[in-house]
């Protein structure tokens, strides 16, 4: 019964947010904060799934005016968890197929996100150049998922280089965003599905880096993110143990 209630409420929310969100985005096409504002709404949906989401930001990242944000991509719940970390002045880079998702696709397009065709390597590379040009011109940050797709419990997928090429070419830092593991955490028929931690790590400076440094930059970021998730998972595990012991 709880499952059906949640699905019904979620459907109504998605339709409402898509309709009104699209109208607001189209009414302010020059706003740099369209994605941030939409993310704030999706953050408030997390409790519907019985999730308590805590966002943390490294102080040094708050002072960065422009960056390439990279986050781990686990499942559909990322929309409601990682959204707590979406800063102002950022747009995401996603695959063109997202535009065809009912309701959400329209909002994704209207909020100014960048769509790329990952099946066409030449076009994807050209799009990275366009992304960098847009960053330089508009002063926007971009948000990408270096794994390229949702891991769905398969562990961390290999990182792709696109985000790191963009950071080096634009001369901006990479800021990793890490969400604790949510694989099989949510049971739709359970009231309380626990806590999720989302942490924005310290920026990784790209000053002086060249194209030949992209792989090492990617590997460093990957290592930092893996270690951060292990730390967040351990913290949640310890807190659950303490709670159960009381």
Please tell me what DSSP assigns to residue 159: P
What pLDDT score does 245 carry? 46
Domain that holds residue 9: 2-245
d(CA 151, CA 222): 14
Q: Is 28's pLDDT higher than 80?
A: yes
CB 118 within 8 A of CB 148: yes
Helix, strand or coil, per DSSP, at residue 167: helix
* H/E element, 126: helix 121-138
Strand partners, 53: 196
Number of structural domains found in the chain? 1
Q: State the residue for tokens 């989401």.
A: 53
List, for residues 163-195, the tens digit of each pLDDT value: 999 999 999 999 999 999 999 999 988 999 999
d(CA 183, CA 203): 27
What pLDDT score does 242 carry? 46
Helix, strand or coil, per DSSP, at residue 111: coil
What pLDDT score does 152 carry? 81
CB 214 within 8 A of CB 168: yes
d(CA 88, CA 9): 28
List, for residues 197-233, the tens digit of each pLDDT value: 999 999 999 999 999 999 999 999 999 999 999 999 9
Task: Extract the tokens encoding 81.
Answer: 């968890």
Please name which of 35, 33, 73 lies closest in space to residue 176, comparing C-alpha atoms: 73
What radius of gyration, in Å, describes the C-alpha atoms of the chain? 18
What is the secondary structure of 35-64 as a DSSP string? HHHHHHHHHTTGGGGT-EEEEEE-HHHHT-
CB 82 within 8 A of CB 95: no
Calculate what percentage of the chain has a pLDDT beyond 70. 93
CATH of the domain at 123: 3.40.1130
E strand intervals along 96-210: 114-116, 141-144, 174-179, 195-200
CB 223 within 8 A of CB 171: no
What is the secondary structure of 177-205 as a DSSP string? EEE---TTT--TT-S---EEEEEE---B-
List, for residues 69-116, the tens digit of each pLDDT value: 999 999 989 999 999 999 999 999 877 888 888 888 888 889 988 887
């Amino acid at each position: 019964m709880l499952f059906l209630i949640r699905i019904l409420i979620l459907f109504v929310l998605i339709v409402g947010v898509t309709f009104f969100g699209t109208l607001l985005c189209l009414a302010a096409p020059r706003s740099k904060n369209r994605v941030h504002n939409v993310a704030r709404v999706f953050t408030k949906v997390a409790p519907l799934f019985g999730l308590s989401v805590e966002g943390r930001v490294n102080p040094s990242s708050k002072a960065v005016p422009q960056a390439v944000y990279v986050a781990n991509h686990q499942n559909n719940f990322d929309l409601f968890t990682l959204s707590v970390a979406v800063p102002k002045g950022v747009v995401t880079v996603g695959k063109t197929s997202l535009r065809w998702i009912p309701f959400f696709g329209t909002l994704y397009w209207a909020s100014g996100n960048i769509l790329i065709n990952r099946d066409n390597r030449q076009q994807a590379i050209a799009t990275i150049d366009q992304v960098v040009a847009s960053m330089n011109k508009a002063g926007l940050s971009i948000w990408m998922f270096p794994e390229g797709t949702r891991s769905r419990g398969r562990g961390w997928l290999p990182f792709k280089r696109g985000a790191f090429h963009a950071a080096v070419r634009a001369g901006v830092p990479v800021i990793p965003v890490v969400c604790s593991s949510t694989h099989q955490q949510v049971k739709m028929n359970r009231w309380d599905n626990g806590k999720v931690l989302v942490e924005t790590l310290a920026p990784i400076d790209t000053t002086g880096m060249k194209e030949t440094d992209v792989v090492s930059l990617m590997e460093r970021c990957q290592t930092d993110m893996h270690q951060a998730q292990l730390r967040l998972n351990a913290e949640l595990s310890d807190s659950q143990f303490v709670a159960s012991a009381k």
